[in-house]
Structures are given as structure tokens and as C-alpha cells.
Amino acid sequence: MATLTYWVCESLNDASCYSIRAKTRKEAVRMRDSYGDRSWEWSEAEKVTVKYSDGFDLLTQCLEEGGGCWE
């Protein structure tokens, strides 16, 4: 089993596609804090870990109904 780990700051006032995702917590926080427009709100950075067997399994997890529900 392989593991994908990333950090997310969830969008609190819009769709999840506007959430911030980054490889490190430091980068996610920097990206969140760099936005000058305060009409956007994000949660604190949270660690997300996804286990998958191969690239096809990861793709399937992303595309199936409810895909990406690990966030």
C-alpha cells in the first residue's frame, strides 16, 4: 500500500474546490494567509492521508461517487 499525505484548509464559505491544498502544513498556512481578500474564509490546516494500492486505485477513489471524501 502506498500513502499520499497532504494538508488542506477547507473553504468555509464556498465549494470545496476552493479549499487550499498543499504538500506541507507550512505551505498551506502561507497560502491561506497570503490572500488579501478577507471575504474568503478557510479552516485551520488539517492533515489528510490517503492509502491506495496503485495509481489506478487512487484515480478510482477520486472519481467514484463521493470521491475525495477523505477530506
**Strands, E assignment, 1-71:** 2-9, 20-22, 46-52
Between 5-9, 37-41, 50-54, the lowest mean confidence (pLDDT) is in 37-41
Q: What band does 26 get if pLDDT is binned at 50, 70 and 90? A: very high
Which amino acid is present at 57?
D
DSSP H helical ranges for 1-71: 25-34, 55-63
| d(C-alpha 63, C-alpha 52), whole Å | 14
DSSP assignment letter at 6: E
- For 16-44, what is the mean pLDDT? 90
| d(C-alpha 25, C-alpha 9), whole Å | 9
Mean of all residue pLDDT scores within the chain: 90
